[in-house]
Amino acid sequence: METLKLNDGGRLPVIGLGTWDIGGGRTSDRSRDDEMTALIRDAIEMGYTHIDTAEMYGAGHCEDLVGRALQNFNREEIFVTTKVLPDNLRYDDLLRALDGSLERLQTDYADLYLIHWPDPDVPLEESFRALNRAAADGRIRRVGVSNFDVPLLRQAQELCATPVVNDQVRYNLHTRAPEQNGLLRYCQENDVVLTAYSPLKDGVLQNGTIQAVASKHGATAAQVAIRWLTLKPNVVTIPKSSKRTRLRENLEALQLELDEDDVRRLNEATGN
């Protein structure tokens, strides 16, 4: 698996496994536990060594299933990202939420812990005091953020005792906010990895240019959408699928060789 170097020297696979809607959406769904645990295991065996989850997903149950799947593997070989809910950004709440995540994940540490969304009612100073403590005592190996714009990311960098390695935001061919608001450029110039979530949503698979480029290469629209993102400096992505054939298809996007003309056409293709 191709990886990107993080600003603390670690490495992050350019394609990770998204897990939203596994183990439930906003509430837990325990009806398909064995099936979903097996799916995550098979994904890891296929080559997904970065798993993206959150305490929010399935109200914690997604982390349970990821934790079960992890038991079959050498923990050190898997990069686990999880996220703290905006409701838990106070000092004690954050440390308690982290312990809950680690317990569900059946692990002593998260490779990367993100503030899922900022909460304007909680000072970032307070959240970062907790994150710095958790990083110092080894419960989290790296700190990152999600859905932060450039001014908030700068603040996070000032408050964080370790490098902020990552900002996870919505970014795909039709949602170009990170290009338009300067976040992508800021991340590229300041050695912060930008994780593009929802790479296949917002109607991108129906985009005419994506489909034309896909048919030129004998690839699928999803593979083009993913490859277009991973060719950008400092960008990784985390597509989710509950189907093994699609999981493999998405991973194989890395074999797609887009030429300069393809990339130019895709850059110019928007949803409008």
Ligand X SMILES: NC(=O)c1ccc[n+]([C@@H]2O[C@H](COP(=O)([O-])OP(=O)(O)OC[C@H]3O[C@@H](n4cnc5c(N)ncnc54)[C@H](OP(=O)(O)O)[C@@H]3O)[C@@H](O)[C@H]2O)c1
Binding site for ligand X (CB under 6 A): 18-20, 52, 116, 146-147, 168, 197-201, 205, 222, 238-243, 246, 249-250
Least CB distance from residue 220 to ligand X, whole Å?
6
Residue closer to ligand X by CB (options 22, 124) is: 22
* Closest-approach residue to ligand X (CB): 18
Closest CA relative to residue 237, chosen from 44, 10, 55, 13 = 13
> What CA–CA distance (Å, rounded) separates 151 from 148?
8
Least CB distance from residue 256 to ligand X, whole Å?
13
Least CB distance from residue 228 to ligand X, whole Å?
13
Count CB atoms within 10 A of the CB of residue 15.
26
Residue closer to ligand X by CB (options 137, 208) is: 208
Active site residue 57: yes
CA 165 to chain centroid: 12
Closest CA relative to residue 206, chosen from 237, 236, 177, 173 = 173
Residue closer to ligand X by CB (options 39, 130) is: 39
Closest CA relative to residue 147, chosen from 110, 175, 107, 106 = 175
Q: How far apart are the first and last CA of the chain?
A: 34
Residue closer to ligand X by CB (options 19, 88) is: 19
Contact 15, 48 (CB under 8 A): yes
> What CA–CA distance (Å, rounded) separates 139 from 135?
6
Least CB distance from residue 55 to ligand X, whole Å?
12
Which residues are marked as active site? 57
